Structure 1
Amino acid sequence: MNLVNIGLSGLNANRVALDVTAQNVSNVNTDGYTRQQAMMATVGGVKDDNLDPGAGVKVSNIRRVTDQFLVKQMWSTKSSSSYASHYTTNMSQMENTLGADGFSISAGLDSLYAALHDATSKPESVPLRQQIRNESEAIARRFNTLTQALYSQHKDMHDQRNAAVANANTLLINIADVNKQIAETSGTGGNPAQLLDKRDNLIHQLSELVEIKTSDQHDGTTQVTLVSGQPLVIGGEYGTLRAVPRDDDSYLAQMEVDFDKQTFAVPNALGGGLGAINDYQNEVLKPYMNALDDMAAGLADMFNGELAKGLDLNRQKGTPLFKYDPAHPSQSLDITDITPEQLALSGDGNPGNSDVLAKLITLSNRPVGVGRFGNMSLNDAFTAIVGETAIRGRQAESDYQAKNAMDEQAVAARDNISAVNSDEEAANLMTFSKAHDANMKVISTANRLFDTVLQLF
């Protein structure tokens, strides 16, 4: 009987709808899960019978409730938020380093010039000369320790980049593999919903490392490229990100992508966590290290130059106070084995004459070329570095707060469409259960009618 068939179709369709609802409910706390809907369509009846109401209902497909625009927006905001998070963390570390008392070049310079001032009262005093030597060694140590701290952070950035590149390459392999599975499942008429969720989650993780662009293909696969266009994943094929150490500094790197036997150079504007590492090293860390080198060399050269013009307590020509390796001035700055008596503070050899000492004191205001900060005194140069760090730190924190808020909004917008709503699914359970029971009654009614007909014979 047609009544039985119609009832059975309704029974089967609502059973599928209940299964879909159960799947949604069971994944209510699954991160990145996209809810599904059973899409029902009526089944047509006999074409040439105007009294045929139809043949029931069927589930035409199971729909994955998603908006790819919102998903891609979420990937974009994740890249921006990750970049800002990494950058502000690094700036905060730099600010804390420069603000530490033991790393303050300004404090060291003040102590050195205070010792020089003290010596003007009695230039021939060996203890006062020893104090000059001690403070000279102390300022050298400040340069050494601060440079070592920045060098350690520089190395840490290098290690973080290598770890991020390795993580990104693993994600590329996995995305390409899921692309293959999606194409195969879609090609055989299967439901790739779980695979699509998995791929979205993998791409979301990748967007945290680098800024990407995606393009959906007809076979269900997604093509992934860097925002600057270099290919990362095409169908089931994947590329490899590489960080190539630079010749001038092995802790800096030029990024490249190897894909299908071709190598593509990648600009520094990577976005995401990797972009933050590159930008921080190139815009902040390395320039500050270079500035410290200029300052250390400038300090040594100025002092040694003035001392060379004077005579020591033994009327001998002045010898250098500082020494350094020209390749790494700040890291290697040290004092020579000069004795207090050998400090050439007099222009004519008279122990009470302090004309050279007076010139040493005036060095506190002498401008020195300090990298991108231009020509200024050493004290002003360090103050400029500290001030710039504070400004950059505030800007980075403000940028992070804004970008993080945008990311949270993007996630909320995606979840509003795609996440499981417990109340909605509870209502669906009631609706489909009642429909299932109603179709059971239809079948029961059909059986009763059939029994009645049989009793007529």
Structure 2
Amino acid sequence: MSLSLSLSAALSGLSLTARGTQLVADNIANAQTEGYGVRALTQAARVTGLEGSGVMSTGITRDVDPMLLADLRHAKALKSQDDVLSDFWTRIESVFGMPDEPGGLTNLINALEVSLQHAATQPDSDALLHKVSQAATDIARSFATLNDTLKVQRDTADSGIANDVGALNQSLRAIADLNDKIQKQTLLGGAPESLMDARQRLINDVSSIVSIREIPRNDGRVMVMGQDGSILVDRTAAQFGFVRTQAPGPGDTIENGALSHVTLNGRNLHSENALFSAGRLGALLEIRDIIAPTVQNQLDTRAQDLITRFSQPDLDPSLAPGAFGLFSMANMSGLPADLTGSAGQIRLNPMADPGSGGAVWRLRHGLGLSTEPLGMTLDNTLLSKMLGALNTPSPLPAGTHAAKPAAAHASDALSMIAAKRLAQDQRGAVNMARVSALEDAFAARGVDTDAELSKLLVLEQAYAANARVIATVDAMWRSLLEIR
């Protein structure tokens, strides 16, 4: 009987070393695979009756540090948020332009000032009046470009929200499905480690979109919970909802119902929800609902400031009360009550625009005149008043800023944008460094090929030893069978 037990023990040793060799091979092959958890075989003595009868595998452990993984996910979620916000501020700052940059709004307002100065010194020069007209047109085009950029950014954000919500629902359903499969494998004594790797990658994807926590269950399942306490995955997956709004305008907001909330199981989620405290989705909502409208307001008030500066009743006697001066608004005869979107509507007054049937002599004599007065080509009164209006310190229409010249107001807007961009870049650099450090720590817990090769040598020796035991037992059996 002892020879039979010896043979059984040796065979169990061969089986265990073969399984261990397979795990080592898997570990080495997946040394660079993202989301792969290092496998290790656990073993225990096998007992039959009251006697030892070899060795057996008690399972496979998957080495993942849950706290380190949670920290890495949160850091990457913050980085995803930073990337989206940094891209927004960089684009807006680039389109706005530096004060000394040709094409920048501040530079263009300064160019209008210079053109008015030159025209006031030679009011009879149509060439200089054309330069005033062109400078004003350039300012209007700059506002239009900035306005269009903000519209594109809001539309891109709304589209990104829709895409992320779709990806979120797909990932949550896949996690719930993997939970079921892993639970079955665990209860049946199978090897669900590869399924766990796939689930970990999916949870990583979810964590880059919204801020979550992973809570393990005893049967191999995990519960995915949002930072606001909402259960996103347990036995079933939660359902996010969102209705795409095509090309939202400056006046479209959540409050007036023009834009859609993100919903969770039919419940509206507000942008300040803890679920959006990290991750790409929170950044997109912030751009669409808070940041872009704030920048839009900055642009609109500056556009309104320019329009009202040149529309003062005492500036141009030829104009009717409430009529536009040097700048007007598209398809409007006067300033509307709601000035939202003014940056996209400001235009050079058509009466001074040769391309729209106007004439530059009106910049000298009066924008409300139908015919040019004779013998007054050297009168620079109106041009001097325009120059004074541009440089006179006055508060913005919103009344929340100190009185300043028009160029200073534009410079303040640029300073705000640049400060936001710089602060965001600094936050991004800090979070990038944190991600890098955590990735290094996580990689250090990954597959160590040197250690795996050392294990392989031990397994090789164990396999040879067990094979030698089998050969010895076989020889002993043969000796017994040869006895006559």
Task: Give the shorter-chain TM-score range.
Answer: 0.7 to 0.9
Do 1:209 and 1:272's aligned partners in 2 also have CA atoms closer than 8 Å?
Answer: yes
Partner of 2:271: 267
Do 2:158 and 2:244's aligned partners in 1 also have CA atoms closer than 8 Å?
Answer: no
Partner of 2:112: 112
Write the distance in 1 (CA, Å) between the matches of 2:241 and 2:75: 22
Partner of 1:335: 348
Partner of 2:386: 360
Report the CA distance shift for 1:45/1:220 in structure 2 as closer, same or farther (over 3 A). closer
- Is 1:186 matched with 2:212? no
Partner of 1:323: 328
Report the CA distance shift for 1:319/1:37 in structure 2 as closer, same or farther (over 3 A). closer
- Is 1:20 matched with 2:23? yes
Partner of 2:170: 170
1:65 corresponds, among 48, 51, 63, to: 63
For residues 225-266 of structure 1, the C-alpha deviation after alignment (integer angstroms, 9 at most, x for no partner) is: 32223332222333224257599426985543332xx42424
- Is 1:9 matched with 2:6? no
Identity %: 20
The amino acid across from 2:410 in the alignment is F
- Is 1:448 matched with 2:446? no
Higher helix share: 1
Report the CA distance shift for 1:131/1:88 in structure 2 as closer, same or farther (over 3 A). closer
- Is 1:379 matched with 2:383? no
Write the distance in 2 (CA, Å) between the matches of 1:366 and 1:292: 18
Shift of 1:435: 0.5
Do 2:154 and 2:288's aligned partners in 1 also have CA atoms closer than 8 Å?
Answer: yes
Write the distance in 2 (CA, Å) between the matches of 1:22 and 1:421: 12
Write the distance in 2 (CA, Å) between the matches of 1:361 and 1:79: 51
Report the CA distance shift for 1:134/1:445 in structure 2 as closer, same or farther (over 3 A). closer
Shift of 1:202: 0.5
The TM-score, its normalising length taken from structure 1, stands at 0.87
Higher mean displacement: 155-164 or 205-214: 155-164
SS at match of 2:194: helix
**Count of aligned positions:** 444
Write the distance in 1 (CA, Å) between the matches of 2:473 and 2:125: 120
Do 1:307 and 1:318's aligned partners in 2 also have CA atoms closer than 8 Å?
Answer: no
The amino acid across from 1:224 in the alignment is V
Write the distance in 1 (CA, Å) between the matches of 2:194 and 2:8: 32
Do 1:308 and 1:319's aligned partners in 2 also have CA atoms closer than 8 Å?
Answer: no
Give matches, 1:68-83, under 5 Å. 68-83=66-81
Which runs of 5 or more residues in structure 2 are unaligned?
333-338, 352-358, 367-372
Shift of 1:131: 4.0
Partner of 2:421: 393
- Is 1:424 matched with 2:451? yes
Give matches, 1:76-115, under 5 Å. 76-99=74-97, 101=101, 103-115=103-115
CA RMSD of aligned residues (A): 3.0
SS at match of 2:281: helix
The TM-score, its normalising length taken from structure 2, stands at 0.82
SS at match of 2:41: strand
Partner of 2:355: none
Higher mean displacement: 403-412 or 263-272: 263-272
Report the CA distance shift for 1:408/1:234 in structure 2 as closer, same or farther (over 3 A). same
Higher mean displacement: 274-283 or 189-198: 274-283
The amino acid across from 1:148 in the alignment is D
The amino acid across from 1:383 in the alignment is S
Which runs of 5 or more residues in structure 1 are unaligned?
none
Higher mean displacement: 202-211 or 154-163: 154-163
For residues 4-63 of structure 1, the C-alpha deviation after alignment (integer angstroms, 9 at most, x for no partner) is: 12212212221221222222223223222112111110123544xxxx5x2211111111
SS at match of 2:121: coil
Partner of 1:207: 207
For residues 389-429 of structure 1, the C-alpha deviation after alignment (integer angstroms, 9 at most, x for no partner) is: 22222222222222122122222322322x22221221112
Do 2:92 and 2:149's aligned partners in 1 also have CA atoms closer than 8 Å?
Answer: no
Partner of 2:35: 32
The amino acid across from 1:41 in the alignment is A
Report the CA distance shift for 1:17/1:335 in structure 2 as closer, same or farther (over 3 A). same
For residues 106-161 of structure 1, the C-alpha deviation after alignment (integer angstroms, 9 at most, x for no partner) is: 22211222232223335566555444333323322222222223322332222222
The amino acid across from 1:64 in the alignment is R
Write the distance in 2 (CA, Å) between the matches of 1:335 and 1:223: 60
Partner of 2:354: none
1:288 corresponds, among 283, 286, 295, to: 295
SS at match of 1:8: helix
